[in-house]
Structure 1
Amino acid sequence: MKQQIIDEINKRAKPLHTSQDLEPLMDEIGEIPIVLLGEATHGSAEFYKWRFEMTKKLIVEKGFNAVVVEGDWPPCFELNRYVKGKAHQDTDLKTLLKQLFNYYPSWVLGNEEMIPVIEWVKDYNRELPEEEKIGFYGNDVKSLWESLEEVIRYLERTESDELVAMAKMIYANLESSQRNPQIYGLNAMFFGQSVAEDVEALYQKVVESRKDLKDIDDEQFNDEINAFVMRNSERYWRSMATEGPDNWNIRVYHMVDMIYRLMEYHGEQSKIIVWGHNTHFGDARATEGMPLEGFVNEGQVIREQKGEDQVYILGFSTYSGEVIASTAWNEPLQVMEVPPAVEGSWDALLHEAGAEDRLLIFGKDEPVFSTSIPQRAIGAVYRPHEVEYQTYVATRLSDRYNALIHIDQTRPVKPLLPK
């Protein structure tokens, strides 16, 4: 079987050297409105490089009008203001990124590889009318305090005294958590300090107060989304103290809903590019562990809800190199070795078929590539020489992705903040 897989890789894989080598992907994507661009780690420079190349082509050649990254809404909305020329125009982008992404894992968006991406979108927007400018957003769910603060500012602007009082009471009740969402989850679960009912009530009142708004602009949309994030972020952090898939799945459904809300905001012809990890995008049903334990992900949910012809999933892999990660959550970042992939994994087979960067596009019926074989997945936390076996996911490659980019040797991103 191993040789059969290697032979099929050599038969089907195309060399990947320049952006022109991405043209077959453009043909495959056609008019699909949602494109998910994955990554096999949270800290490899080449994944950023090729997602940037894909993003440019999708915007210029296919008319995509929004870029969404795996980041919190408030700081990413500041980048939306930046690329649309509405704020921070006198601020050096490197300085701005340091200010916005000064929390763990800071290097995922606070890195030098993101600078040309954001500057390119800003330059592209320069000659576009306001209604056609490319948006830049984050669809994550973790900004409970930041989004609540934005909701308070919005309510103060609209002189909604009753709702301001409600929001400030929620904020005061969260003080015992010291702005630490994990402490809040424990306090809510074990010490009766949940603000869930109050947050839900506030959210519903904010929605009701906005029901007559039509043709909202970016700033009004920002107000709406911060209320939505506030509600779901409270749910997410409160669920941290529970076992099972609920916490993960709350985040997944929020991130998918954010994609849909952004598409609705950008209009009927909207097309959206999303950056995130393979674990979020590669259809969970094509892995062995996730479905058995009740976990879903964005790729699966969008395929189920919108249809497989409405979303295109591009995965990534690597054989070896270096990566930015940390040994535990909130621990300092460091450059780590990515050891050669374990024997028999997809990553190792792709290397054995030819130690070069390649593009693989899958079809509907793939008996070879639908074989369940481990594929490596490295997150923000990585201990390669202790629990390497835990970083592999049994994967039916052609069922999980529409296409795969393999980077044989990867380099670490360049973080903007020190360790």
Structure 2
Amino acid sequence: MTITRRTFLAGSAVGVAAATGLAPAQASGDPITSWIARNAMPLGDLDHLRRSIGGAQIVGLGEAVHATAELTHLKLRVVRYLVERLGFRAIAFEDDWSLGTQLNEYVLTGRGDLNALVGQLSTESRTHEIAELFAYLRSYNATHRDKVRFAGAEYFATRQLAYDAIDDYAARRAPHRLAELRRSLKPIRPHLEDIGAYVQWYWKEVKDKAPYVAKAQAVHTLVQKLPHRPNDRDYAITEHHARQILSFYTAFSLPEAEIWSYRDARAAENVRWWHGFTRNKVIYWAANAHTANAPGLRVTVPPDPEVVFRNAGSYLRDWYGNRYRSVGCTVDHGTTLGPITLPPAPSDWFEHQLTAARDGQFVLDLHSRPQPDAVRAWLHGTAKTRGFPEYGAESYMTGNSLSDWFDVVIHTPEVTPTHPLIS
């Protein structure tokens, strides 16, 4: 069964502009494009990000669309900068927690088959470009004592290994509770090895989901009461496994329209948990729809009703204030994996002004001063941008303002698809 993030929502170097500057895309007297042109910085040196990131504890590193080579390579460059220059040592990634534990083992120790692990990620991430991220993390960790750790920020494909880890912990630490635990744990352990198929079975075929949710809740409650030492990291991982199992069964028992808000609330909690667990600064790698500070996000998906939800980035901004910084990687047009064509941004999308202002890729700090009245109106008015690529320009995202959504944008005019690991 193919796993895509959309299922779970509803259920090398890049070419850079010369370090000496960027050429204007067109002569313009427009105050917005003129302001962008004055403040845009080339990508030859990412040190422009240092002041924008400041003392952030978590950086949301978003992307307008998944599965483009240029944005993935760009985000890898940003990861390298944040790790090597600003001391970030943890990554929370828009994919499943349980698989993430195996990928974390790989980047820490080198154990495991990288391509096989990447091949189990959501379809959009089963690419050579995403594999490069993990190859970099492994290479960095192999030569540094202060290692970078990796976690999946999602519950949406919680695999059997999470159930087995809970059983193993109880067998070691509380064998007298094992029989009680297994009475709830065994009946809900996925009976299919293909987790995508299991999701579809539970979500679409199981009519009465209440017993599954009740057993998942019983497992989590019991695990919370298991003996453990203060700051016991083995226990903390076990409890987190149980929480993802509960989130999984709860999410897919909800009406479809409610899953969006539930998912992002849990993702935000998982990123916050990972920050506390690692005691390190975290890079949250996900789509802009999750990383932006968007408490009132609205996405049109014609002909279906629009989707409205509070996203993960808005929780993180509430909890961390300016210690959560939102970096949005944006795009005007091109092609993503599918292939899916991305038409040029219409004039009422904010990317239209970005592309008109400068050629090539660039970084723009949206807090740059001074800001003329027209620029303030553009930054603080209700923003509009690309929604889900498979719906074309008819799908757009809105709600809140550009200055709410992002602290920094890194704009790429044109993109091409990533390269699948398996054709």
Whether the TM-score (by the shorter chain) exceeds 0.5 is: yes
In structure 2, do the counterparts of structure 1 residues 355 and 173 end up closer, same or farther at CA, with 3 Å as the change threshold? Answer: closer
Does 1:277 pair with 2:287? yes
| 2:12 corresponding residue in structure 1 | none
Residues 340-399 of structure 1, C-alpha deviations (whole Å, 9 max, x = no match): 2223321222222233212110128733322334211335xx143xxx221343562122
Does 1:300 pair with 2:307? no
| 2:151 corresponding residue in structure 1 | 137
Residues 39-61 of structure 1, C-alpha deviations (whole Å, 9 max, x = no match): 00011112111211111111122
| 1:251 corresponding residue in structure 2 | 263
Residues 9-30 of structure 1, C-alpha deviations (whole Å, 9 max, x = no match): 22222233x2x1x212112212
| 2:342 corresponding residue in structure 1 | 338
In structure 2, do the counterparts of structure 1 residues 191 and 200 end up closer, same or farther at CA, with 3 Å as the change threshold? Answer: closer
Q: 1:17-416 maps to which residues of 2 (within 5 A)? A: 18=44, 20=45, 22-85=46-109, 87-88=111-112, 91=113, 93-98=114-119, 100-101=120-121, 105-108=122-125, 110-129=126-145, 132-146=146-160, 147-156=162-171, 159=175, 160-171=178-189, 180-186=198-204, 190-191=207-208, 194-210=211-227, 212-217=228-233, 220-239=235-254, 242=255, 244=257, 246-267=258-279, 270-285=280-295, 295-307=309-321, 309-324=322-337, 334-363=338-367, 366-378=376-388, 382-384=390-392, 388-393=393-398, 396-416=401-421
Residues 45-82 of structure 1, C-alpha deviations (whole Å, 9 max, x = no match): 12111211111111122211101110101111111001
| 1:11 corresponding residue in structure 2 | 38
| 1:330 corresponding residue in structure 2 | none
Report the AA paired with residue 200 of structure 1.
Q
Residues 224-276 of structure 1, C-alpha deviations (whole Å, 9 max, x = no match): 3211100111111111xx154x3112111211111121122113xx2111100
Taking the aligned partners of 1:15 and 1:286, their CA distance within structure 2 comes to 32
Taking the aligned partners of 2:68 and 2:284, their CA distance within structure 1 comes to 17
Q: Which moves more between the two structures, 159-168 or 140-149?
A: 140-149
Residues 161-190 of structure 1, C-alpha deviations (whole Å, 9 max, x = no match): 321232113348999x995334424556x5
Taking the aligned partners of 2:225 and 2:348, their CA distance within structure 1 comes to 56
Taking the aligned partners of 1:80 and 1:14, their CA distance within structure 2 comes to 34
* Offset of residue 156 of structure 1: 4.8
Report the AA paired with residue 275 of structure 2.
M
What SS class does the counterpart of residue 30 from structure 2 fall into?
helix
Q: Which moves more between the two structures, 164-173 or 272-281?
A: 164-173
| 2:6 corresponding residue in structure 1 | none
Contact 1:32–1:311 (CA under 8 A) maintained in structure 2: yes
What SS class does the counterpart of residue 161 from structure 1 fall into?
helix
What SS class does the counterpart of residue 315 from structure 2 fall into?
helix
In structure 2, do the counterparts of structure 1 residues 9 and 394 end up closer, same or farther at CA, with 3 Å as the change threshold? Answer: farther
Contact 1:369–1:397 (CA under 8 A) maintained in structure 2: yes
Taking the aligned partners of 1:236 and 1:67, their CA distance within structure 2 comes to 24
Q: How many residues align?
A: 380
What SS class does the counterpart of residue 317 from structure 1 fall into?
strand
Residues 282-314 of structure 1, C-alpha deviations (whole Å, 9 max, x = no match): 121475669x9761111111111222x110000
Structure 1 residue runs without a partner (length 5+): 325-333
